[in-house]
């Protein structure tokens, strides 16, 4: 019989110690942090699932490539290798390096949008929305309706609602829609993938009206893997060929290399439009740097050039998606409510269903995140009432899995901690805010538990 265990397709050459703390220490630390996990020192975290962004472990090949980094201000050979790697997968004519994803977004929207414009997306990530609005445009989310039902299982829950896209274009007029975006995978919608059929359908609608399609490509390799394993006709195709097909349907992309670039910093902006590229490079020079480094060191460009290709390796993607699914399926089988099905980079706990006795105004997501820290030193992030205020339609707790960092026993530990908290959920209390900033309050807010 064939062996079925999926293993980490690497061995560990360099390790970073993680420190356990006692429950009393954690109690003191979280109190001192105003019950906000952003304010707890990373050294006091055992398993850090705050984000999968910039937290990947690099490979020996990436470290070796970094030694080749050409730090020339202009015309660096590292840029040539970076551009060749990006073009080999993404295929666009112009490749503009940036220090991270949001810098690519700022440049794109500054050049393409004006006041009164509308930019549809399956779901804008927060920085994408903020940069779009900062340029004066409206950031419009058009996910399929099922995306808002946490328990609903669908293979491509990240898809855009194409009927609403067509309606929006008819209502607003193509002149006021400078571009349409698709975020793969859909982070804010639970790390859910977008199908090739949906990308093709969106492109077709855009094509009728002459509207360019851009892909927010942060987790493109994970999306390609879901297409391979879930969409008819792709089982025999390599993730790289699938990614190439995805981007062949788009006119450009923004990318945070901190995700599927397997790098700790970096990003890029791509386009096929020569005139736009010229304007984008002018803006790049103003705030990021010369177009052959864009705010990155030559060695960062090298790490990304290698990382993009490693992220498309089948053995890596198989392990990556299996690891996230193991966490999600295991806790769900014990009754823990999660956003279904398990996403690519993260598991989202449904805190309203987990703690039905805590009303949204008492921050069930914060309450759950605090308990996971107290119980096992795990750091997660609330995506709900604290982050979005009264606009929040859900209270979720995201457990984002850094790439190639944690092993199966770490994941098993996380499962055990969540199940322990699940068993005593009835005793968990809500919170109130004692101090907050006028915007983006979740980063710095201080809270206190309500009396039981
Ligand atoms: N788009 C998506 C879909 C993202 O998830 C992120 C970052 C960005 C754009 C911005 O990229 O951070 O390099 O500027 N997401 C991180 C997260 C921060 O934790 O999900 P960036």
User: Can you say whether the dihedral through the CA atoms of 170, 174, 177, 182 is positive or negative?
Assistant: positive
Taking Cα atoms as reference points, which of 127, 83, 132, 99 lies closest to residue 287?
99
CA 297 to ligand 1 center in whole angstroms: 20
Q: Tens of pLDDT along 74-101?
A: 999 999 999 999 999 999 999 999 999 9
- Band of the pLDDT at 248, cuts 50, 70, 90? very high
Task: Name the pairing type of β-strands 138-141 and 118-121.
Answer: parallel
Say what the pLDDT of residue 26 is: 98
Shared-domain flag, residues 353 and 279: no
CA 283 to ligand 1 center in whole angstroms: 21
CA 350 to ligand 1 center in whole angstroms: 21
The answer to whether residue 9 is domain-embedded is: no
Taking Cα atoms as reference points, which of 157, 158, 177, 156 lies closest to residue 166?
177
Atom of ligand 1 nearest to the CA of 127: 10
User: Dihedral of the CA atoms 253, 255, 260, 263 (nearest 10)?
Assistant: 150
> Helix (H, G, I), strand (E, B), or coil: what is residue 182?
strand
394: left (phi over 0), alpha (psi -120 to 50) or beta: beta
- Band of the pLDDT at 222, cuts 50, 70, 90? very high
- Mutating to test ligand 1, I would choose from 123, 125, 400 the residue with most ligand atoms within 8 A of its C-beta, which is 125
Instruction: Give CA–CA dist 86/268, Å, rounded.
Output: 9
CA 126 to ligand 1 center in whole angstroms: 8
- Band of the pLDDT at 391, cuts 50, 70, 90? confident
Shared-domain flag, residues 127 and 252: yes
Shared-domain flag, residues 412 and 271: no
Atom of ligand 1 nearest to the CA of 219: 3
CB 181 within 8 A of CB 336: no
Average pLDDT of the segment spanning 144-153: 92
Atom of ligand 1 nearest to the CA of 50: 19
Say what the pLDDT of residue 189 is: 79
Say what the pLDDT of residue 261 is: 98
Say what the pLDDT of residue 176 is: 98
- Band of the pLDDT at 389, cuts 50, 70, 90? confident
- Band of the pLDDT at 148, cuts 50, 70, 90? confident
Q: Which of 310, 334, 354 corresponds to the end of one domain?
A: 310
Instruction: Give CA–CA dist 320/335, Å, rounded.
Output: 24
Shared-domain flag, residues 69 and 40: no
CA 450 to ligand 1 center in whole angstroms: 33
Which residues, in sequence order, are bridge partners of residue 446? 435
Residues 6+ apart with CB under 8 A from 184: 158, 193, 194, 199, 215, 216, 217, 218, 219, 220, 223, 246
Nearest residue (by CA) to ligand 1, atom 18, is 53
CA 436 to ligand 1 center in whole angstroms: 23
Shared-domain flag, residues 317 and 299: no
Taking Cα atoms as reference points, which of 193, 197, 175 lies closest to residue 184?
193
Say what the pLDDT of residue 439 is: 82
Nearest residue (by CA) to ligand 1, atom 9, is 101
Shared-domain flag, residues 211 and 325: no
Whether the per-residue pLDDT at 124 is higher than 80: the answer is yes
Say what the pLDDT of residue 390 is: 85
- Band of the pLDDT at 438, cuts 50, 70, 90? confident
Nearest residue (by CA) to ligand 1, atom 1, is 125
User: Can you give the CATH number for the domain in which 266 is found?
Assistant: 3.40.640.10
CA 87 to ligand 1 center in whole angstroms: 21
Shared-domain flag, residues 126 and 246: yes
Question: Structurally, how many domains does the chain consist of?
Answer: 2
Taking Cα atoms as reference points, which of 137, 109, 140, 136 lies closest to residue 124?
140
The answer to whether residue 6 is domain-embedded is: no
Mean pLDDT, rounded, of the chain:
96
Atom of ligand 1 nearest to the CA of 258: 13
Whether the per-residue pLDDT at 1 is higher than 80: the answer is no
Shared-domain flag, residues 302 and 398: no
End-to-end CA separation in angstroms for the chain: 55
Shared-domain flag, residues 301 and 324: no
- Mutating to test ligand 1, I would choose from 49, 97, 99, 102 the residue with most ligand atoms within 8 A of its C-beta, which is 102
Shared-domain flag, residues 30 and 102: no
Say what the pLDDT of residue 190 is: 86
Whether the per-residue pLDDT at 134 is higher than 80: the answer is yes
Nearest residue (by CA) to ligand 1, atom 16, is 53
Shared-domain flag, residues 320 and 302: no
Say what the pLDDT of residue 274 is: 98
Share of the chain above pLDDT 90, in %: 94
Say what the pLDDT of residue 188 is: 83
Say what the pLDDT of residue 82 is: 98
CA 53 to ligand 1 center in whole angstroms: 7
Nearest residue (by CA) to ligand 1, atom 21, is 101
Instruction: Give CA–CA dist 95/89, Å, rounded.
Output: 12
| pTM of this structure | 0.96
Using CA atoms, how far residue 100 sits from 115, 117, 132, in Å, is: 25, 25, 16
Shared-domain flag, residues 189 and 337: no
Which residues, in sequence order, are bridge partners of residue 349? 338, 397
Nearest residue (by CA) to ligand 1, atom 12, is 101
Query: C-alpha angle 379/385/390, rounded to 5°?
Result: 165
- The range of the structural domain enclosing residue 320 comes to 23-45+313-449
- Mutating to test ligand 1, I would choose from 37, 54, 101 the residue with most ligand atoms within 8 A of its C-beta, which is 101
CA 121 to ligand 1 center in whole angstroms: 15
CA 50 to ligand 1 center in whole angstroms: 12
Average pLDDT of the segment spanning 402-427: 98
CA 128 to ligand 1 center in whole angstroms: 8
Q: Tens of pLDDT along 9-63?
A: 999 999 999 989 999 999 999 999 999 999 999 999 999 999 999 999 999 999 9
Atom of ligand 1 nearest to the CA of 256: 13
Say what the pLDDT of residue 334 is: 98
Say what the pLDDT of residue 388 is: 85
Nearest residue (by CA) to ligand 1, atom 4, is 125
User: Can you give the CATH number for the domain in which 331 is found?
Assistant: 3.90.1150.10
Nearest residue (by CA) to ligand 1, atom 11, is 101
The ligand 1 site (C-beta within 6 Å) comprises 51, 53, 100-102, 125, 127-128, 183, 187, 216, 218, 256, 258, 267
CA 223 to ligand 1 center in whole angstroms: 15
The answer to whether residue 220 is domain-embedded is: yes
The answer to whether residue 263 is domain-embedded is: yes
Q: Which of 266, 293, 310 corresponds to the end of one domain?
A: 310
- Of 147-151, 341-345, 371-375, 419-423, give the lowest mean pLDDT range: 147-151
Mark 61-70 as b/e (b = at least 16 C-beta within 10 Å).
Answer: ebeebbeebb
The answer to whether residue 378 is domain-embedded is: yes
The answer to whether residue 55 is domain-embedded is: no
Average pLDDT of the segment spanning 361-369: 98
Say what the pLDDT of residue 61 is: 98
The answer to whether residue 254 is domain-embedded is: yes
């Amino acid at each position: 019989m064939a062996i079925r265990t999926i293993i980490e397709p690497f061995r560990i050459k360099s390790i970073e110690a993680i420190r356990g703390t006692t429950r009393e220490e954690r109690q003191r630390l979280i109190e001192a942090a105003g019950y906000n996990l952003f304010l707890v020192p990373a050294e006091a975290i055992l398993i850090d699932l705050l984000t999968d962004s910039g937290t990947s472990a690099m490979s020996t090949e990436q470290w070796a490539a970094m030694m080749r980094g050409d730090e020339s201000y202009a015309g660096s050979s590292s840029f040539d290798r970076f551009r060749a790697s990006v073009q080999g997968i993404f295929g666009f004519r112009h490749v503009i390096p940036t220090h991270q994803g949001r810098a690519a977004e700022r440049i794109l929207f500054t050049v393409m949008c004006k006041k009164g414009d509308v930019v549809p997306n399956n779901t804008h990530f927060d920085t994408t929305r903020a940069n779009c609005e900062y340029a004066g445009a409206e950031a419009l989310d058009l996910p399929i309706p099922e995306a808002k039902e946490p328990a609903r299982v669908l293979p491509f829950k990240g898809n855009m609602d194409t009927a609403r896209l067509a309606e929006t274009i008819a209502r607003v007029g193509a002149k006021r829609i400078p571009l349409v975006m698709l975020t793969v995978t859909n982070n804010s919608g639970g790390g859910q993938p977008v199908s090739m059929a949906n990308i093709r359908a969106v492109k077709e609608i855009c094509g009728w009206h002459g509207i360019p399609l851009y892909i927010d490509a942060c987790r493109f390799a994970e999306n390609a893997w879901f297409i391979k394993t879930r969409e008819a006709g792709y089982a025999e195709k390599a993730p790289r060929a699938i990614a190439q097909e995805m981007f062949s349907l788009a006119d450009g992309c923004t990318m945070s290399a901190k995700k599927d670039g397997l790098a700790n910093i970096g990003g890029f902006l791509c386009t096929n439009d020569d005139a736009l590229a010229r304007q984008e490079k002018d803006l790049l020079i103003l705030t990021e740097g010369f177009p052959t480094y864009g705010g990155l060191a030559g060695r960062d460009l090298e790490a990304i050039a290698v990382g993009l290709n490693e992220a498309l390796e089948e053995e890596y993607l198989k392990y990556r998606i299996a690891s996230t699914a193991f966490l999600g399926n295991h806790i769900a089988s014990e009754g823990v409510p999660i956003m279904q099905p398990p996403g690519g980079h993260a598991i989202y706990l449904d805190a309203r269903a987990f703690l039905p006795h805590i009303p949204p105004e008492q921050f069930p997501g914060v309450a759950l995140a605090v308990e996971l820290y107290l119980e096992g030193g795990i750091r997660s992030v609330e995506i709900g009432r604290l982050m979005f205020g009264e606009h929040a339609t859900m209270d979720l707790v995201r457990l984002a899995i850094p790439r190639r960092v944690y092993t199966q026993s770490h994941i098993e530990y996380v499962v055990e901690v969540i199940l322990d908290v699940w068993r005593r959920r009835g005793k968990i209390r809500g919170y109130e805010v004692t101090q907050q900033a006028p915007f983006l309050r979740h980063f710095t807010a201080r809270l206190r538990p309500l009396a039981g």
